[in-house]
Amino acid sequence: MSTLENTNIRLSAQRALLGAIPTSLRAVSIEVSSQIIRIRNIFDKGYTESEKELLSAVGAEIASDFSEVHKIEEEFLVISEHQPMQHFAHLVFLRYEP
């Protein structure tokens, strides 16, 4: 991906996340390769079905910005607070953890 495309995917993700951050969400990262958008959502204590649906809608909104994308792969992981996380290429949300 070019620098412009990297910037566009990050901006699209951050825009789509506005107003869609559940309190248990620790981080969201994203990457694009071979016409696939991969999104990793990391929670601290689990998530509800409505939170999963909310973030799936975020993924659909991101994908709608890119006509060349043919597939979205979403991960919903539970990793306790203060445990290390692995992110995709672009970290677009990271919760403050003192």
Q: What is the band of 1 on the pLDDT scale with cuts at 50, 70, 90?
A: low
The mean pLDDT value of the chain amounts to 94
Q: What is the DSSP letter of 19?
A: T
Question: For 5-61, what is each residue's pLDDT tens digit?
Answer: 889 999 999 999 999 999 999 999 999 988 899 999 999 999 999 999 999 999 999
SS3 at position 73? strand
CATH number of 3-94: 3.30.300
- Tokens at 16, concatenated: 């789509």
C-alpha angle with apex 39: 38 to 40, nearest 5 degrees?
Answer: 125
